[in-house]
Amino acid sequence: MPEAPFLRPPQHARTYRYDAVDREFLAERIAEFRGQVQRRLAGALTEDEFKPLRLMNGLYLQLHAYMLRVAIPYGVLNATQLRQLAYIARRWDRGWGHFTTRQNIQFNWTKLVDTPEMLEALAAVDMHAIQTSGNCIRNTTTDEFAGAAPDEVADPRVYAEILRQWSSLHPEFTWLPRKFKIAVRGAEEDRIASRTHDVAVQLKRDAAGEVGFTIHVGGGMGRTPILAQPIFDFVPEAEFLRTMEAILRVYNALGQRENIYRARIKILVRDLGRDGFLELVNAELARMPVEPYRLAPEIVQAISAHFAPPPFAPADGAAAALERATAADAEFADWVRLNTRPHRQPGYASAVISLKPVGGIPGDATAEQMEAVAELAERFGFGELRVSHTQNLVLPHVHQKHLHALWQGLRAAGLGTANFGQGTDIIACPGLDYCALANARSIPISQQISERVDALDRAFALGELQIKISGCINACGHHHVAHIGILGVDKHGAEAYQITLGGAPGNDAAIGELIGPSFSYDDVAGAVETILRTHIAQRLPGERFLDTYRRIGQAPFKEALYAAA
């Protein structure tokens, strides 16, 4: 391979490393926002005019304060960056941050005047809050095991980074009808809830080994949950950005703008039909020049170099040693069984750091915890970190011989919970404790359910179970695609919760079905327990809740929930 005439990243760069050009862009962007904040504070911009501008810089006005949402591009960050997030949490917030289902982090107690300084602190570590909000192309999400998973055919981080760059301040697509979310995965197994996104990209390889893309379009949650439909089976790599442009062109021109509940691309695709939409995209492609939009292989190569694998050590009999260590310590064995995933490199594993202590707040981490994780990442994981859409952190590359020390370090920081993918690994949005749009609280409900599920799990081993909670129909907590989904609604001015069953986010994606009338704040955790007890009574040996539900249907659950009343 000839030396790319582009950037020369360090040997194992871990994250996309900015060069002078990227830094100039970021500095200019912050200067622009500083000017906008000044114009707003001076009254030269109305709140109406300022709102879309601040949103494009990640700044939301919440119930009690501004909230700054910081982009963690495709959930990838390094230890230095995590330390800086801890610093920001301490300096300008109340000492913690909240990791979101969009693989971002939110600071909930931000002052408007502080935001330009916070953005500068982020820029110092090549981070930003660009397009984490507003009606533009948002942070692209991807698989938290990218670059480590054994089943990956190509690295999704490379294409997610290309999308990040292409979508940054896109001149045509910055004032879209509504927000636009793209997810990219590199494996057949869907670990990223692909079909809930406006566009879902799956990397494939053809017979010659060339990368191409299967593209689904028109997924989304919110008031009208719809799973994305396939429109292209194999877009060649060179055509990637051209195809994205074409999809966005159709959406920008024809997406509804009058009613925000009808403005997402899912409604356009539904109204036009998958074929009708595809026809319009093809019409754009037929007219677009090819060369200016071509994704050159040299660019892909140069960006790929940023994600080169770290210098792995030999396996060195680590698997056998790990087996001995787990045999000697049941708690550690639990954590290894639940919170580690296989790695393509012999002797290595990916380790999930649960941000879901039983009874805790999903996704929250204190500044001290962030610092502890940063240090563990440096000691045991090449300084590389991921944020998962399930609101957990991941060390993608840990040598098996270090897992025990890692686990001990995590436990010391209160981060040793062994529950990844289990019932207590609850996804919950901030809800009425913070969010201006909420109908009901999510956090305390999640805490109550977590306690009950934990007790049941200890007694009955529930196995894989996904419980997800949203405080309103915007569905930031992904409740539609939960095995047990909980949605906060307003019932005559009181908080109430609807329960849906049977949803799933992955390859067998499905939208959950409403089980019946809503439950009060006091009753909802008990209702979840009733559902799980029904599952326990009905399950075949080793059967997950979802499979029991799919096998026996709603009726037994309905009866258990409502018959007594």
8 Å CB contact between 341 and 350: yes
Q: Which of 86, 336, 472, 525 binds ligand SF4 (CB under 6 A)?
A: 472
501: tokens are 């069953």
Stretch 141-170 residues interacting with another protein (CB under 8 A):
162, 165-166, 168-170
- What lies within 8 Å, CB to CB, of 110 at 6+ separation is 59, 65, 66, 67, 68, 92, 93, 118
d(CA 7, CA 62): 40
From 171, 229, 174, 222, select the one nearest 200 (Cα to Cα): 229
Burial of residue 345 (number of CB atoms within 10 Å: 0-12, 13-18, 19+)? middle
Q: How far is the CB of 390 from ligand SF4 (least distance, A)?
A: 16
Q: How far is the CB of 469 from ligand SF4 (least distance, A)?
A: 8
Q: How far is the CB of 429 from ligand SF4 (least distance, A)?
A: 3
From 103, 104, 96, 27, select the one nearest 59 (Cα to Cα): 104
From 544, 202, 157, 553, select the one nearest 384 (Cα to Cα): 157
| CA–centroid distance for 360 within its chain | 19
Residue placing its CB nearer to another protein in the complex, 6 or 562: 6
Q: Which of 136, 146, 438, 481 binds ligand SF4 (CB under 6 A)?
A: 438
Q: How far is the CB of 430 from another protein (least distance, A)?
A: 25
- From 51-59, 236-244, 431-439, 551-559, span contacting ligand SF4 (CB under 6 A): 431-439
Q: Which residue has the tokens 């939960």?
A: 482
Which helix (H) or strand (E) element contains residue 212?
A: strand 211-217
Q: How far is the CB of 153 from another protein (least distance, A)?
A: 23
The yes or no reply on residue 177 touching ligand SF4 (CB under 6 A) is: no
8 Å CB contact between 518 and 498: yes
Residue placing its CB nearer to another protein in the complex, 170 or 344: 170
Per-residue interface string for the shown chain with ligand SF4, residues 382-421, x marking contact by CB under 6 A: ----------------------------------------
Q: Which of 218, 430, 485, 502 binds ligand SF4 (CB under 6 A)?
A: 430
Instruction: Name the β-bridge partners of 475.
Output: none
441: tokens are 């609280």
The yes or no reply on residue 224 touching ligand SF4 (CB under 6 A) is: no
253 makes contact, choosing from another protein, ligand SF4, none, with CB < 5 to 8 Å by partner type, with: another protein
Q: Kindly report the length of the chain.
A: 565
8 Å CB contact between 161 and 103: no
Q: Which of 357, 362, 383, 471 binds ligand SF4 (CB under 6 A)?
A: 471
Q: Which of 2, 43, 171, 209 binds another protein (CB under 8 A)?
A: 171
471 makes contact, choosing from ligand SF4, another protein, none, with CB < 5 to 8 Å by partner type, with: ligand SF4
d(CA 356, CA 481): 19
Q: Which of 174, 224, 282, 554 binds another protein (CB under 8 A)?
A: 174
Residue placing its CB nearer to ligand SF4 in the complex, 265 or 476: 476
Beta-sheet strand order (sheet of 340-342)? 76-78, 384-387, 393-399, 348-353, 340-342
- Helix ranges (H only) for 114-182 are 115-123, 156-167
- From 250-258, 389-397, 434-442, 496-504, span contacting another protein (CB under 8 A): 250-258
The residue ranges that bind another protein (CB under 8 A) are 5-7, 19, 21-22, 24-25, 28-29, 31-32, 35-36, 45, 48-49, 52-53, 135, 162, 165-166, 168-176, 241, 249, 252-253, 257, 287-289, 292-293, 299, 302-303
The residue ranges that bind ligand SF4 (CB under 6 A) are 429-431, 435, 437-438, 470-472, 474-477
